[in-house]
Structure 1
């Protein structure tokens, strides 16, 4: 079965969206760095805490996490800071 969208593992990091975790006070800059990046193919990469197992049994109706997907959590302030870098649809 072919999916409507598939991630391209050859895409490269192009630019950060918003501010770094350190700028937002969400990281000490060592090993905990949630982040949001635009890839050179237009896709978005999100680095966050993997809480897939915690949320799997509590997903809203119609929401699913595939076996090769992960549900990640980032600080809300990080997405808010990225708003200026995200174009309107």
Structure 2
């Protein structure tokens, strides 16, 4: 069965959404930094801590993590800072 949406691995990073982890006080270097980026095809890339195995057994009803998917967590203020760069639907 074909998926209704598939990530395009050829999409390129266009711009950071919000502020960098360093600007928000979540990183002192560039080795381990959560981030949110807009891709050139309009999709969004999120870099965060992989907590898939931690949350897998306690997902809310109707929520699932499919094959090839990972649950990542980023700091709350990072998403709030990105709000100004995220267009309304």
What range describes the TM-score normalised by the shorter chain of this pair?
over 0.9
| Aligned equivalent of 1:41 | 41
- More displaced, 23-32 or 36-45? 23-32
Give CA deviations for 1:22-50 in whole Å, capped at 9, x if unaligned.
Answer: 00001112321000000000000000000
Deviation at residue 71 of structure 1 after TM alignment: 0.1
Give me the whole-angstrom Cα distance separating, in 2, the residues matched to 1:78 and 1:29. 16
Alignment of 1:3-14 (within 5 A): 3-14=3-14
Moved over 6 A (4+): none
Count of residues in Structure 1 that have an aligned counterpart in Structure 2: 89
Q: Which runs of 5+ in 1 are unaligned?
A: none
